Amino acid sequence: MRVFVAGGSGVLGRRLVPQLVERGHQVTATTTDESKLGMLKELGADAVVMDGLDAASVDEAVAGAHADAIVHQMTAIAGKPDIKHMDKWFATTNRLRTEGTDHLLAAAARHGSPHVVAQSYGNWNGIREGGWIKTEDDPLDLFEGTPANVGMRAIAHVEESVLAAGGAALRYGGLYGPGATDDQVTLIRKRQFPLVGRSNGYSSWVHLDDAAGATVLAVEQQARGVYNVVDDEPAPASEWLPYLAKCAGAKPPMRVPVWVARLMAGDVAVAMMTEGRAFSNAKAKRELGWRLRYPSWRQGFAEDLG
Ligand SMILES: NC(=O)c1ccc[n+]([C@@H]2O[C@H](COP(=O)([O-])OP(=O)(O)OC[C@H]3O[C@@H](n4cnc5c(N)ncnc54)[C@H](OP(=O)(O)O)[C@@H]3O)[C@@H](O)[C@H]2O)c1
């Protein structure tokens, strides 16, 4: 297949492009940065510069690729995590998920209607009622009235528009693997990522290589609908955070009461750490035939950060 990877130079794109190439696909991958074109070519892709927020730039890149499939992996999250002001931290990413998605879908419709697979999010953001583990039939939590709301709406926009176009939205768990957790690990090493109260909120994780593997399957099978792309072991923060710190060679995380965390890091951080709802991967395994190389973050953190 001819596959166009918007955001091919990112932490996930860099693992996805080689997997696609290895499976015999012809890949066009994008970056906004000319200096990364060589790296994309080394991974085996045709490389193009594209600004996902510029409709004309997207149209030109998609037109030139003659793609059977488009994969949307454009985000701009790197930098110091600022969960208290998530709207500002995620401002560009939110635009890439709204305007960027619209530009890609419009270009797709104009140039042969390739199938679309897009990055969504399924880490700690399941609806905060009922059980701790959510399926694709459960809604995501929009975190109304918090600084996370605009980002959660942007994720909903990706899912709704891509599904309406007959594509698939992949709810990746917390990504880890080369380069993916550097910003969090920096905070953990400075002991600025504490446990909050009982820290009984759940998260789902997934290694970059497994996330890329599920993405290849969704492309090849022209999957439609939502898929949770997470590992086998959703876990509360009280379990994964001390283990992540240990694997990263950091001191154990501090523990702060809920009211202190609310004051310092805001409502979203408290919700994530104490009310988060994680995700089940049963559908991706069943329907896509997805097999994980890292079924648990326990093995993955130890190998990646140890
Ligand atoms: N589910 C998750 O847990 C999740 C999801 C996403 C990211 N993250 C984390 O966030 C951090 C880094 O992610 P990141 O999003 O900053 O960097 P990234 O992975 O380097 O970026 C993703 C891709 O988006 C592209 N991009 C950025 N702005 C664009 C624009 N205006 N138009 C077109 N493409 C654009 C980048 O291209 P350039 O070559 O131009 O930079 C890159 O190819 C990592 O810690 C990562 O794991 C986590």
Question: Ligand 1: does its nearest atom lie under 6 Å from the Cβ of 77?
Answer: yes
Best CA proximity match to 29, nearest among 1, 52, 49, 15:
49
> What pLDDT score was predicted for residue 305?
83
Mean pLDDT across 263-285: 98
194 C-alpha to center of ligand 1: Å?
Answer: 25
Its pTM surpasses 0.95? yes
> What pLDDT score was predicted for residue 63?
98
Listed in sequence order, the residues at least 6 apart from 61 whose beta carbon sits closer than 8 Å to its beta carbon are: 4, 6, 28, 30, 48, 50, 107
Question: Ligand 1: does its nearest atom lie under 6 Å from the Cβ of 34?
Answer: no
The two three-digit tokens of residue 211, written as one number? 């996330």
Q: What domains sit in the chain, N to C, each tagged with a CATH number? A: 2-305 (3.40.50.720)
pLDDT digits (tens, 9 = 90+) for 100-156: 999 999 999 999 999 999 999 999 999 999 999 999 999 999 999 999 999 999 999
pLDDT digits (tens, 9 = 90+) for 200-239: 999 999 999 999 999 999 999 999 999 999 999 999 999 9
Question: Ligand 1: does its nearest atom lie under 6 Å from the Cβ of 54?
Answer: no
pLDDT at 306 over 80: no
pLDDT at 178 over 80: yes
Question: Ligand 1: does its nearest atom lie under 6 Å from the Cβ of 61?
Answer: no
Question: Ligand 1: does its nearest atom lie under 6 Å from the Cβ of 28?
Answer: no
53 C-alpha to center of ligand 1: Å?
Answer: 14
Question: Ligand 1: does its nearest atom lie under 6 Å from the Cβ of 90?
Answer: no
Mean pLDDT across 86-96: 96
Mean pLDDT across 26-52: 98
Share of the chain above pLDDT 90, in %: 98
Cα 106 from Cα 110, distance rounded (Å): 6
pLDDT at 169 over 90: yes
